[in-house]
Amino acid sequence: MAKISELISKHVISVYNSENCGVIENVLLSNNGFKAKYFTVYNPDTNATYVVSTNDIYSVGNSAVSVKNNDALNLIESFEMQIRGMYNPINSSVFNINGDYVGIVTDVELDEKNTVVNFIINNESEESIISKDLIAKFTQTTTIINNSDVEKVAIARFKPKMPKTTNDDRIISILKLKEDQMEAQLSAVSSATENVEEPTHIPAPTILPGRAIANQEFLLGRKLTKTITAENGTLIAKVNTKITSNTITLARTHGKLTDLTKHSMEQSKKVK
């Protein structure tokens, strides 16, 4: 049985590449299944943070965790969707479901399959062990526990109703209409310039950046069906790659949010 505190700061080594890939800086647990799903690994040589799935761990030793090769490491920026909603509950405040303070999570025990076994809680006067079966929900800041096995509450029924999302095709149509309007405005200015005999200052059209998608949640994780580049040739994202927050920021900077949306699709769909 391992503890999260024992895993953090261990080195991660790639056996095939014979490299030290960095040190584990965090262990992320899922609320669904209560398993350690990913390690985040910081490499001081590249100043980058990587994500390693626990499924790709070859062995856990006294000093290091080994993976078969470097393919097990993924840049954290490309893994934002997979690790969303996963937390390390150490240092989170613990309350029972009735609102009584219990203590602070000081550690988490895992079995050989990286499944949570116990939360270790400290309430200043003593340390106690809370079985996974009593944990109702946890995040990075707060852990909720049931009072006992007998008094378990199905907190899944507390989930708020989700607002209806806007249809993908409708959003793309709005963006296409905005794009057509901008092209018509530019064309009108171009025609006016050609008909002027003497140099005349013609104010440039006011072109507002597409804001039909204010919430980047719509784009995150979608797959590109076309390589997107800026007018100056800067590569924004390649075809068949997932859209990350960095992709969205870069596209917004170069005015390519419309293209990003038009040429992306949900992962479940296939590129024709």
DSSP 163-184: PPPPPHHHHHHHHHHHHHHHHH
Question: What value does the mean pLDDT take over residues 228-255?
Answer: 82
Q: Quick check: is 183 in a domain?
A: no
Length of the chain: 272
pLDDT at 32 over 60: yes
**At residue 57, what are phi and psi to the nearest 5 degrees?**
-80, 125
Q: Are residues 168 and 253 in the same domain?
A: yes
Task: Give the domain-ending residue among 87, 103, 121.
Answer: 87
Question: What value does the mean pLDDT take over residues 177-181?
Answer: 65
Question: What value does the mean pLDDT take over residues 205-226?
Answer: 59
In this prediction, residue 207 carries a pLDDT of: 39
In this prediction, residue 76 carries a pLDDT of: 93
pLDDT at 174 over 70: no
For residue range 34-58, what is the model confidence (pLDDT) as tens digits?
999 999 999 999 899 999 999 999 9
Tokens of 70: 């470097």
234 to each of 40, 167, 188, 251, 259, how far by Cα in Å?
Answer: 30, 30, 29, 10, 14
Task: Give the domain-ending residue among 37, 63, 87.
Answer: 87
- The proportion of the chain whose per-residue pLDDT surpasses 70, expressed as a percent, equals 76
In this prediction, residue 212 carries a pLDDT of: 36
In this prediction, residue 252 carries a pLDDT of: 76
Q: How confident is the model at residue 260 (pLDDT cuts 50, 70, 90)?
A: confident
234 versus 107: which is more confidently predicted? 107
In this prediction, residue 189 carries a pLDDT of: 62
* Domain total in the chain: 3
Q: How many CB atoms lie within 10 A of CB 109?
A: 18
* Cα 165 off chain centre by: 20
Domain span including residue 153 = 93-158
Q: Quick check: is 265 in a domain?
A: yes
Predicted model pTM:
0.58
Q: Across all residues in the chain, what is the average pLDDT?
A: 81
Q: Quick check: is 197 in a domain?
A: no
Q: Are residues 167 and 146 in the same domain?
A: no
Among 6-15, 122-131, 183-192, 205-214, the minimum mean pLDDT is found in 205-214
Cα 65 from Cα 11, distance rounded (Å):
6
Give the helix, strand, coil percentages of the chain, each rounded to 5: 25, 35, 40
